[in-house]
Structures are given as structure tokens and as C-alpha cells.
Amino acid sequence: MKRSGRNGPRPPALGAPPSGSFELNTPRDRAGTFEPQLIKKHQTYLSDEIERKILSLFGLGMAYQDIASHVAELYGLSVSNATISAVTDKLIPELKQWQQRPLGSHHPFLWLEAIHYKVKTDGRYEEKAVYTVPGL
């Protein structure tokens, strides 16, 4: 079996629609056996893993700038606000479908209230809650 030698990097441009692109240097070998893990060969957009991470951070209520800094810290990629917006806009059809789903005729709910008191226990004050159920 012949050993695969290195052939230098190739600099493809990786784009993230609608804006934001960067150059990615991936090593090449003569046998073509190198397979990148994060961004696959011939891929021209962000990987599904990075998009899932962006969506999960967005779901946690993070601002676009915070998401961009986390992606830069985790993956070393510079992602623009427009790119993050394009990724999060993919959720809009699913959200609209969820919001327009039919609801059942009965929606039970429980209304709880709590009053917090400072109670002295073993020489220390602790905050305790007394819960009431004013409606059902």
C-alpha cells in the first residue's frame, strides 16, 4: 500500500447565505483520503452542526452578536448577523404552523400564588413560600 503524501492546502471560499464568507484551507493528500470533520468536502455553506448550534443559542434567547461570538469561540468562524438571521428564518414556517394548530376544547390550567416569609429556623432566617390555589 502506497503512503499518501501531502499535497498542500487548497483554498476554497466557504459562503454562508445571504452574506458572510471566508476562506477555508483544507489539507490535500495525493490519495484524496483526507476527510474534514466539521465542514465536509465540496461543502459551500455552513454545516448542519453549526446551524443547529445557532438555532439552539437563538432558542435560549441570545442576541445575534452573542451567538456570533460563541460560534467564533467554538469553531473559529466569523458569522455575520445576516447569516444568523438567514439560519433562524428557517424556523418561521414551523413556528407559524405550530401557532395555527387546532387546539382542543378544554384547556385546564392551575393558578398558583406564593407568599414568601422569612422564618427563623435553628437560629437562622430562611425564606419559605406558602402556596395558595385561588382558581382552577
Kindly report the pTM of this predicted structure: 0.46
The more confident residue out of 17 and 21 is 21
For the chain, the domains span 6-99
Identify whether the C-beta of residue 33 lies closer than 8 Å to the C-beta of residue 4. yes
pLDDT digits (tens, 9 = 90+) for 93-116: 988 998 899 888 887 788 889 999
Portion of the chain with pLDDT greater than 70, in percent: 65
Identify whether the C-beta of residue 39 lies closer than 8 Å to the C-beta of residue 14. yes
- How far is the CA of 60 from the CAs of 30, 67, 103, 105, 127, in angstroms? 44, 10, 26, 31, 29
Q: Is the dihedral of CA 99, 100, 102, 108 positive or negative?
A: positive
- In this prediction, residue 17 carries a pLDDT of 46
Q: Is the pLDDT of residue 125 over 80?
A: yes
User: Side chain identity at 7, as an amino acid letter?
Assistant: N
- In this prediction, residue 19 carries a pLDDT of 45
